[in-house]
Every structure is written in structure tokens, then in C-alpha cells.
Structure 1
Amino acid sequence: MRLWGPWHRRLHSQVSHITTPIFYPNARPHLGHLYSSLLCDVFHRWQLFKKGSSLFTTGTDEHGLKIQAASERAGYASPREFVDNLCRDFVKLDRAGDIRFTRFIRTTDADHVENVRKLWKLCDLNGFIYRGEHKGWYSVSDETFYPESKVQRSGTDADKFINTETGNEVVYHTETNYFFKLSAFRERLVAYITENPRFIDPSAKRLQVLRELQEEGGLPDISISRPSSRLKWGIDVPGDPSQKVYVWFDALCNYVSSVGGIDAILQDAIPEVALRHEGGNLEVSSAEWWRNTTHVIGKDIIKFHTIYWPAFLMAAGLPLPKQIVVHSHWLSNGVKMSKSLGNVVDPLLMIDHYGRDAMRWFLLENSQLEDDNNFQEDKLHSTRELLVSKWGNLVNRCCGAKFNLQRAVATFASMDRETLLNLLDGDQMLKEAVQKLFTELDMISEKMDGYISRFESRAALRNVWSVIDLSNTLIQDSKPWTKEGPQQDVIIYACMEASRILSILCQPIIPSLAARLLDRIDVPLDRRSVAFTKVGTDDLYGRGSNERGRPVPLQRKPLREQ
């Protein structure tokens, strides 16, 4: 049996599998769930936009003591009824946020349960699981044990103990269960992470993981089961129904379940349920999907994904995913969200009032991976206002009755750049402004590709704003309504080329609004692909765009009453 070793990593740039963490449905979804899903959705849509093959999986982590206890408190007849109910809330949020996943996996799905058993058996067969007694501080909230060094008395209750990592309560437990030989993988993990610097991103998180792995005392073995007498809601340990599989061992396995399962990966086979990329019929093997997998996770679960999960895979003789991207959390007006403080942001409420596209744009523009991000509703409102006043108004002005976009497009789309610019020789400032706008448009598709591929959403949207600002400045300074003939048409054409190209490129970011912006200037549906993101690549749009009474792409919305 092959243990962890040098797999042939034939990474295919046109194949990607991106995953959110599977979310714990012990309460309704929050802003952080939407943010993780949005990062994945934009990456997934962009991959499809580039004519690549892409899978996007998300879902719910439905086993464990926390679910068992929450269902009992809520008065449900069984944990299954409890998770069936809450699972719908996560799907509802995805639908509201226009999150277009490929599969919504649940850890109660039959194929996933079978893969958990397979993962356990492989780790056991290879000698990395043993039975023993465990004594230590256990957190029900985190579903994990903590070492003595990370436990302290609560500052508010002297009889209560908490862990220093998450601040959640811990209680001392002694029990017999199964252990995973995590200690055997310390050097291998350090070597792999060091030799593959993009495996964990951003780099600060990679260095954080390396520091933890190199801490004095080594990497202790971990308990990977719980007694069935205490944990009833879980998967039986293969061959020993007196124990249930540890919830993280169970949950992490969802990522391989989602691409056809362990057997299909090991055999480098097409999964039984055909996984086809959207818009085509290219079949990709489970192994190929898996080698091109990117996990997007919150910083609070970094240890499980960057230490436990790679070690489980190594022990089973499976390849590692391509990358693990770690993002930070969201605050509410600068303060950590808390039910007791009453400052928890309801993403469904925000989407219902301000719209899914404004919400998507705001979250992407006001976030970065490295630092905690700050949700402010007045800024969300301002974001929508800017989309109306800057982008929407640019389109509305150029589609006014005084201009003729169809004529401008028909005249200049097929004209070479130099000839077009020479028409402006009488106005050097205007010529330079149009030339600068075209130069930015020449580069923006490649720039956007780099930003989105690196999850630099803020930089991507700032680049979009800079081009919109150039277009608005061109309109404002040149005053096309005071001009006639070719000069007027060149200005209108340049500005609407900017809006057309930006709208096509922003389809993965603001799908509905981008479609309305393209509809407003009558861009044909078959001309909204990456092939049409250069100046002059579409000579058919603009027909009827200057007719009176056309609906505006986005209307103003007042700040929500609170």
C-alpha cells in the first residue's frame, strides 16, 4: 500500500475544484458563511468564464455532539430532523446571494458516509490508528481536545475553564477511544509546506502553521473517535460500533466525497456520477479534480485543514489538494459579532433590501484575506449609491437621446486604433484621454484574471472603479453634447466600450447587474464571453440603446430603517 509519497501532479490550468468549509448547522447561517461562499462562487464563475472546467462544492457538517445537544434543546425528535430543517437555511442563503454551487454535500449523504469508512480503513491499514485512553480538556463547541498549556480559568467565572484559542468553555474528560498518529507526520508536513509555498495562502498563515508545527513538544497524536455512550449522532467506527468517528475526521472527508470518492481518486477514474464542466461535455477524472482542489476556509479552522487534513490524506496514501486559502472574519461596526451585543448582521435582510449584487460588491470590495473586515450598513448603502451614480449614470448619459451609440459602434468597432485616434488630432487633451482609456481596457482582462486567481477581490474592484472613473472624467471634461460628428461618436463609443467590457468581466462578480448593464446597451447574449473583452471585438451592440423610455439598470434605494 502506497503511503504519502511523490504523486505525479499533472495540474491542469483549465480544471479547478473549489470548496467552502462545510458549515455546522447548529444555528442559522451568518455573514461569514456568505463571505466564504462568495469567494468560491466568484472564483468558480471566473473559471467557467475563461472556458475552463470547474466544480464548486459547499454543504453542511451534520454530525457531532454539538448538533446532538442543539437538537435536544430545540425539542426535535431526532438530530436528523434538526439538520434537515437548518440545512434549508444554508441553501436559502446561497440562493439569495446568487451562489451557484455544483454540489451541496451533507455529511449524512450515503456516499460520504461510505467514504469516511474508507478513509478510516486506509489509515488503519497503514498503521496510523490505535486504541488508547484519553485524558484532557474537551470543548463541546469546538469538538476538540486542548492541551493543558492552552487552558485557563475564565475571567468571569472562577469555576469555569476556557481554551485560549477560541475562548470557548472546556471540561476535563477521561475516556477510551481511537487515536491517529499525527506525531508521525510533523516532519513530512513541515517539508511539504516549505517546499510548496503556495499550498497555504496568504503567506502569513503559512508561517503561522509552520511555527505551530515546529513548536517545542512536537505534534501530539489526536483522538479521532468518541464513545457511542456519549456521542450518539455520528458514523460508527468500522468494526467497533461502541465508538463514533470524530466529527472532524468525518467532515474533512467531504472534499474527496464531492469529486467521486476515494476509490475513484486512487484509480484515477471518471466518477460513476459523471462530473461535467458547465457548458460542455469534457469529462475529468476524480484524481484530476482532486489535484486541482482549492479549499477556502476561515482562520478559526486553519489547524484542522492545514495540519489534520493533510496528515489524514498522507496516512491514507492520497494526494494533497492544490491549495488552502485562509480568510479572516467579519466585524460589525468594528466589534466582534455577538448575539448578546445584538450586533449580528443578518445577510438575508441585507440582500433583501439592498440587492444581491450590491451585497456581493460590498463584501468583495471591503475585504482582504489577511485582516478582519468591517461590515457597516451605511457603507453598503453607499456602495449601491456609487454603482448607480458612477456606472449606471455613465450608461444612462451615453444612451441619451442626443447621441447615437449604434452609429458610433458601426463606425469605429472595425476601425484600427491609430485611424480612430487621428480623428481627434484637433483636440490633444481629448485624444490623450481616449488613448489612456483604451490602454487601460487593453490590460484589464489580464489584470482581473490575476486578481481573481489570487483572491484579491479588493484590488480587482478598485481596478474596475478606476476605469469607470476614467470614463466619467472623459464625459465630464469633453462634454460630448457640445460636439458633433466623429468626435462626439468617438467619446460615446470609448465610454460604452469601457462599460461593455467591464460588464462582461464583472459577470462572475455581479451576475444580475452585469446582465442588466449589457441589456441596456443591447449586447447580444452570444457576445458576452471572454472573447469579446477587447476594444473593437463587438460591432453589433447599441441598436435601440438611445430610444427613450428604456429602464435604468439600477435604481437608488434609501438606507434601511432600523
Structure 2
Amino acid sequence: MQYRTAIHRLYSKASHITTPIFYPNAKPHIGHLYSSLLCDVHHRWQLLKENQSFFTTGTDEHGLKIQLASESNGFDQPKKFVDKLYMDFVHLDKIFDINYTRFIRTTDPDHIENVKELWQLCLKNGFIYKGEHKGWYSISDETFYPESKVVKDPSHDGKYLNTESNNEVIYQSETNYFFRLSLFRERLISHIKQHPHFIFPVTKREQILQELETTENLLDLSISRPSTRLKWGISTPNDPSQKVYVWFDALCNYLSSIGGISSILNNTAEVVSKHYNAGSNVEMQLTIPHPKEVWQTTIHVIGKDIAKFHTIYWPSFLLAAGLPLPKQVVIHGHWLCNGVKMSKSLGNVVDPVDMASYYGSDIVRWFLLENSKLEEDGDFQEQRLSETRELLVSKWGNLVNRCCGSKFDVERAVTKFSNKGHLQLQEVFQNEPEISQQIKSHIKLLNETKDVFEEKITLFQYSQLLKHVWGIINDANTLVQNGKPWEREVDQQDAIIFLSMETSRILTILCQPIMPALSQSLLDRIDVLEERRTITFIELGSDEAYGKYSNKRGREVPLKRIPYRLSE
């Protein structure tokens, strides 16, 4: 009985988070990175707490857009084309330390088998039928639009646009297989109301709910395309003359990436998912314990443009197949550049790899998170990115550099005050109530910080989290400035240096999910041992073994100043 309880506790801490899988028809931009970054921080936070976490991302490689792009680029096979394209996304993840568990491709053999299994379950349960489809189809969006959402293109005679994405649509008639989406409206409304956090944030939940409640009948969804038109896709299991609709294919990746449909339905105790490591032909094995429980912890992080597919289509497919629904769909805004929508024609598409090569990947990570609000579009401005780096140098970097100066002794301060109790720091300044009160307030802030991280990361409120971090950094710098440790006797000097260095040590450990590489450099600078960079060592005074060489002259500065490269 005790063994079962221990196992339950272990697996109850498991979690799964996903980005959308990205369409590799163009190089990745700042929006792709943003989705990945939101997931990466959440995933790394779980790992820092020593929980089991799975994080999946990847590329959506089938569909008419890929087929046409492959032909226009001179490839005789679309697979060769996507084999080249998907590597850009793998490279982006490598540059920015995106610590995924699996990078899935919809051309992976295990995924193809899972798509077929999802189709067969929906067919067997009576939710797929064959019919004639007439309507307005967008190649760019890979979807049909109703007549009510189609307008004439004012700038081109004879062309039509859809009002959702403003992409061109063409009218066509063909035989397809249909999914009985119309049967799921009430079930979706009921689930969203009974699980108020299923769609997050609240504003997005209300939008989806209103759309469902005001739509009298959901139209059945065309989920296949004739093989004569769409050659590059998965054949429908029951009819090779049809190819699976790209969204029915793509959405299934979330199941494939953690062991597959059968393992989730059977709740197999342990599944080994075999796949090829992204960027190589090396076969990888991913062990997923209790896949059904893991699946029900799943959080999908997506952009607002694909909300309908994830909050209406995807839950309906799962319900039709008899599968449980994921825990949550988190919907975020897009990124502008200097207040303007990014586009190739305007030449303002931000290349994140270029930004990382000059300012540093962790600076870009910090900037995107600091300016992250799910409900709003972000605005990328390179000058503000440069200013963010400068602030990190002047505030955080300077705090460390000052305390590691030759006038002080970090090791002595750490040895003196570690594990001695918080009150002792205040007692050193018992005749200076202002400094004593500042120390007391600062310690309170530090003690609250883990809970702040937990709350804000859970709610994806990264801008509020980093505002809290800045508050503590500024407070520590004020303590050094007001306390003037360079003018004090040894005990008082060491008390100020100790608390300042503890601030940097604790915050740096907690900020590892935010800035993984820079965190390691900061911890290296003050000689924190590798094994003491875990959540176990975030209490004040919990590490008495760092600082030995911190005040040695000639040590490299973790973060150096660089100029804003576009300045005149």
C-alpha cells in the first residue's frame, strides 16, 4: 500500500506542455520562439522542482501548401523539401536552449499510425461520413470558410478573401469525408462551463463560449481531400482516393508525442515511445509512465489565430474517439514590430537568431517574457531589447561585481552568516533602525519569491514575475548604496555583502528557467557548486559553500556592455 501511494505521488507530479507544431513553409520568426519560450519556462520550472515533465514541439509537414511550395522550389518529393525546412526550427530551439522532450514531425512513422488510429475510432463510433462539399477554400489556411465570411478583394478583380485571416479563397466542389462536428456543440459548451480553466485567459474563454452559444448549428467539418488534388498527405485508412485533412493530422501530434492513442486508452503503466532525434537519424526512446494521467495534465500553448482548431475541432475529435480531453488550452497574442504587423513585404519580420547572435539568446528570452501579456499583442523594438540588456548589466551584473570587489570577502561573509538565522543580520545594525528595517523587508521579499514564481509561472504571467524580480534586485542595490559596506567594520560589511550575494544566488537559481545560460554564468561567478543549484537551496543561508574565489582579481564578468547596434 505504501508503494502504491509513493507511485501515485510521483506520477501526480507529472505534467505535459506543448507548442503548436509549426508549418515549415518559411523560416521561424519571433512568434514561433515566443510560443516555445512560454512552454520552455513552464517545463524547466517543473524540472527545477524535481517534478516529471514532458514538453513537445515540432513541425506540421503535410498539406497543399507544402506540396505546392515543394514543386515551385524544384523538389521532386515533398519529403526532401521538409527534411530541409524543419531543421530551421531545430536550429532555433538549439540557439535559445529550448529544452523539449520530443521534437515531433508529422512525417514520423509513429505519428502516421496514430492519425490512422484516430480516424478509425471516429469512423467506428459513427462520426465520419462521406459527402459532397461545396465552398470557399483557402490554400494558405488549409480550411474552408462559409459564405458569410467571404468578401471580394478590393484590390484585385475576380479574387475573394475570407474575413478571418484575409487570405485568398477559391470556390470549389469535391467529394470529401466529413466529421459530425454539429453533434458536439452542447458537449463543448458544457465542458467549458464545468471546467472554467480549460480555455485561458478568461477573455479567450468568453470569446469561444460566445461563439459556440450564438452559433445555432456547428457545420460538419470536411476532414479529407481528394488524392488527385492533395498528393502530399496521409491516406485515409478506408479509402486511398482521399488524403487526411491537414488539421486532423496535425492535432493528433499531441497524442503521438507521448506514446500514442492505444497507450492512453489502455492507460499502459509505462510506454516507450521510439522516434528519431530531431536533426539526426539517431533513434531515441522516451519513457512515459501512466500516459493517460500524463495526457490529462496536458497544456496546449497556441497563438490566437488557431484557437478555433484547438478549442472546438480538437476536443470534438477526442470526444468522438472516446479519449479524455487535455487539461488546458492557453491562447496568446501575436508580436508586432515597432507597432506594425510583421510581413515580408514590409521587410520587418524579426529574425530571432539574428537578435541572439548580437544581444545574446538569454537577453532575447528575458525581453520576450518581460513584455509578455497573453491577452495583448507584443511589440518588438530592438532599442528596447538593447535597453533590457543594459539594465541587466547595470543592475544585476553590477550588484554581483560590486560585492565581488577586492575590498570585500564573500567567502568570509557566507561562512559567518549562513545557517545562523535571519535575526542575526538585523542585530548587527540594532543601532541603525533604518538599515535594520530595510534588511527585514528585503528578507521578507526573498522568502515570498518562490511562491511568486509558482503562481506567476502557473498563470503564464511572466511580465509580473520579472517585475517582482526587478523589485528585489533594485532593493538589494539600494541596500548596498545606503549601507556603504566599504565604510563599515567587518561584521556590518559582511552582513550587507552576505544579504546582497544571497539575493543574487537565490534569484539566479529561481531564474534558471528564464535565462538558463546566463544563470549558469552568474552562479559560476560566485562559485556555487553544480549540485547546489536546485530548489533545495533557495532558502536564505542554505548554502554555506560558495564564494571561495569570488573576490579574486581578474575573474570574467558574466555580462558585458555592448552598444545598441542601430545607434547613429
User: Which TM-score band (shorter chain)?
Assistant: over 0.9
**Structure 2 residue aligned with 1:398:** 403
Deviations 1:4-40 (A, max 9, x none): xxxxx99965111110000001111111110000111
**Structure 2 residue aligned with 1:265:** 264
**Aligned mate of 1:335, from 340, 353, 358:** 340
**Aligned mate of 1:523, from 528, 542, 545:** 528
- The amino acid across from 2:84 in the alignment is N
**Structure 1 residue aligned with 2:282:** none
The Cα of 1:217 is off from its aligned counterpart by 3.3
Distance 1:11 1:434 in 2: 38
**Structure 1 residue aligned with 2:192:** 193
Distance 1:432 1:142 in 2: 59
Residues 322-401 of structure 1 correspond to what in structure 2 (within 5 A)?
Answer: 322-401=327-406
Residues 116-515 of structure 1 correspond to what in structure 2 (within 5 A)?
Answer: 116-273=115-272, 284-515=289-520
Question: Which consecutive segments of 4 or more residues in structure 1 shift more than 3 A?
Answer: 9-13
Distance 2:142 2:12 in 1: 37
**Structure 1 residue aligned with 2:112:** 113
**Structure 2 residue aligned with 1:5:** none
Q: Is the 8 A contact 1:234 1:245 kept in 2?
A: yes
**Structure 1 residue aligned with 2:16:** 17
Deviations 1:419-442 (A, max 9, x none): 331111111111111111111000
1:43 aligns to 2:42 (yes or no): yes
Distance 1:113 1:223 in 2: 19
Distance 1:157 1:13 in 2: 57
Q: Is the 8 A contact 2:180 2:220 kept in 1?
A: yes
**Structure 2 residue aligned with 1:4:** none
Distance 1:232 1:394 in 2: 60
Deviations 1:212-266 (A, max 9, x none): 1112432110100000000000000112010000000000000000110000001
Deviations 1:309-363 (A, max 9, x none): 0000000000000111000000000000011111110111001111111010000
**Structure 2 residue aligned with 1:547:** 552
- The amino acid across from 2:96 in the alignment is G
**Structure 2 residue aligned with 1:94:** 93
Indicate the larger mover: 294-303 or 531-540. 531-540
Distance 2:527 2:79 in 1: 49
Q: Compute the RMSD of aligned alpha carbons.
A: 1.5
Distance 1:155 1:130 in 2: 38
**Structure 1 residue aligned with 2:277:** none
- The amino acid across from 1:87 in the alignment is Y
- The amino acid across from 1:163 in the alignment is N
- The amino acid across from 1:423 in the alignment is V
User: What is the DSSP-based 3-state SS (H/G/I as helix, E as strand, rest coil) of the residue aligned with 2:272?
Assistant: coil
Deviations 1:66-114 (A, max 9, x none): 1101111111111111100001000000001111111000000000000
Indicate the larger mover: 533-542 or 211-220. 211-220
Distance 1:45 1:317 in 2: 32
- The amino acid across from 2:499 in the alignment is A
Indicate the larger mover: 120-129 or 213-222. 213-222
Distance 1:390 1:443 in 2: 21
1:52 aligns to 2:57 (yes or no): no
Which residues of structure 1 form unaligned runs of 5+? 1-8, 276-280
Deviations 1:362-394 (A, max 9, x none): 000011100000000001111111111100010
TM-score after normalising by structure 1: 0.96
Deviations 1:132-160 (A, max 9, x none): 00000000000000001111111212311
**Structure 1 residue aligned with 2:70:** 71
Distance 1:108 1:10 in 2: 36
Distance 2:178 2:333 in 1: 31
Distance 2:469 2:99 in 1: 23
Q: Is the 8 A contact 2:19 2:57 kept in 1?
A: yes
TM-score after normalising by structure 2: 0.95
User: What is the DSSP-based 3-state SS (H/G/I as helix, E as strand, rest coil) of the residue aligned with 1:28?
Assistant: coil
Q: Is the 8 A contact 2:11 2:290 kept in 1?
A: no
Distance 1:312 1:216 in 2: 19
Deviations 1:513-549 (A, max 9, x none): 1111111111111111101111111111111111111
Q: Is the 8 A contact 1:260 1:271 kept in 2?
A: no
- The amino acid across from 2:401 in the alignment is N
The Cα of 1:559 is off from its aligned counterpart by 1.6
Distance 2:198 2:488 in 1: 56
Distance 1:191 1:89 in 2: 41
**Structure 1 residue aligned with 2:3:** none
User: What is the DSSP-based 3-state SS (H/G/I as helix, E as strand, rest coil) of the residue aligned with 2:564?
Assistant: coil
Q: Is the 8 A contact 2:224 2:242 kept in 1?
A: yes
User: What is the DSSP-based 3-state SS (H/G/I as helix, E as strand, rest coil) of the residue aligned with 1:214?
Assistant: helix
- The amino acid across from 1:75 in the alignment is G
**Structure 1 residue aligned with 2:280:** none
How many residues matched? 549
Q: Is the 8 A contact 1:36 1:298 kept in 2?
A: yes
